[in-house]
Structure 1
Amino acid sequence: MSQRINGYAVAPEAYRIKAALEDYFKTTALEPSLIHLIKVRVSQINHCAYCLHMHREEALKDGDTEKRLLLLDAWRESGMFSPRERAALCWAESLTHIADSHANDADYEAMRAEFNEKDAVDLTFAIAQINGWNRIAVPLRQVHPQDKLR
């Protein structure tokens, strides 16, 4: 795959503004490990190789395990994820597939059972953020620097 446009080179200010929201997430009560799981799971759904490379490596660096990341696509069938993580992953899938799910009440209620109002809003923003990044990287065919044949 080859890159269509180097979006960062063409519109660095847009990237800078979007990236500023990433700093906000560091100030929230959301655990970094939870944010990593959301970023990887949403990127799996959206088939964003660039973001999968980046966020998997960040998750591992911050202490998550290869086993959990390998099972992330099957989190519903795995006992390796906490109730809080499961609620966040369910909400992430619901919002990523919003045209079909309409952010249904069952998914919302499951998320709210684990997240207070502020954390629910922060989680929703985090999910929207990674979906946005995916929707930039995939159509521009952004290539991760390590995305090479062995």
Structure 2
Amino acid sequence: MNTTTHPSRLGLYAGSDERVDAAFTVIHGRGGEILNIHKTLCHSPGMFRAMATYAAALRSESAIAAQIRQLVVLRVCQLNSGAYEWSVHVGVTTKMGVPMAKIEALRNWTESDLYSDEERAALGFADQTSANTGVNEETFQTALKIFGARGVVDLAALVSWYVGNTRFATALEIVPDGPGVLE
């Protein structure tokens, strides 16, 4: 486990690259902060740029409502032991107005009455996609009915991205940025 003050097991990036500078400018421009995942991605500037572009599209081009996307991200973190992403997204989710009770109930969301039909459809899709067993027909059709074809594509892209990100952060031992602890 990485117990240093470095952002990840790779240490601090000491290079200089215009793609990194441009990515940091975009992040700052939208009011964001430079996180440890960004500091780690600096070691591969081209990959950083590509991943930042994809992540931005997940936020700005999705037909799925932002609060639902964040609940899905947190659920994927739970299912994939994504402590780093959880630490980042629990704060984002609460800032969007999602009640802490919903976040705390995610582990047992199927037994809770806190979630809307839309949230249930998205969480069910996330559970099955994360399990890597495919999405059964009933879950798929429910998601399709609620979100449409575009929304199903957006949901599959979101879940797949964060399954990958949880594994990326774990492999590189990226140090959590925030106070959130994986539940």
Task: Give the aligned length.
Answer: 146
Determine whether 1:4 maps to 2:9: yes
Cα 1:147–1:57, aligned 2, differ >3 Å: closer, same or farther?
closer
Distance (whole Å) between structure 2 residues aligned to residue 144 and residue 12 of structure 1: 21
Alignment match of 2:112 (pick from 64, 78, 87):
78
Report the equivalent of 2:55: 22
Q: Are the equivalent residues in 1 in contact too, given 2:91–2:178 (CA < 8 A)? A: no
RMSD, aligned α-carbons: 1.7
The structure showing larger relative contact order (alpha-carbon pairs under 8 Å, at least 6 residues apart) is 1
The one-letter code matched in structure 2 to 1:39 is V
The one-letter code matched in structure 2 to 1:41 is R
Q: Where is the helix percentage greater, Structure 1 or Structure 2?
A: 1
5+ residue gaps, structure 2, are 3-7, 12-39
Determine whether 1:145 maps to 2:150: no
TM-score, length of structure 2 as denominator length: 0.74
Deviates more, 1:81-90 or 1:112-121: 112-121
5+ residue gaps, structure 1, are none
Determine whether 1:94 maps to 2:128: yes
Alignment match of 1:131 (pick from 163, 168, 171):
163
Instruction: Report the CA distance between 1:9 and its aligned residue.
Output: 3.5
Q: Secondary structure at the match of 1:116?
A: helix
For residues 113-137 of structure 1, give each alpha carbon's deviation from its aligned partner in whole angstroms, at most 9, with x where no partner exists.
3110111111111111111211200
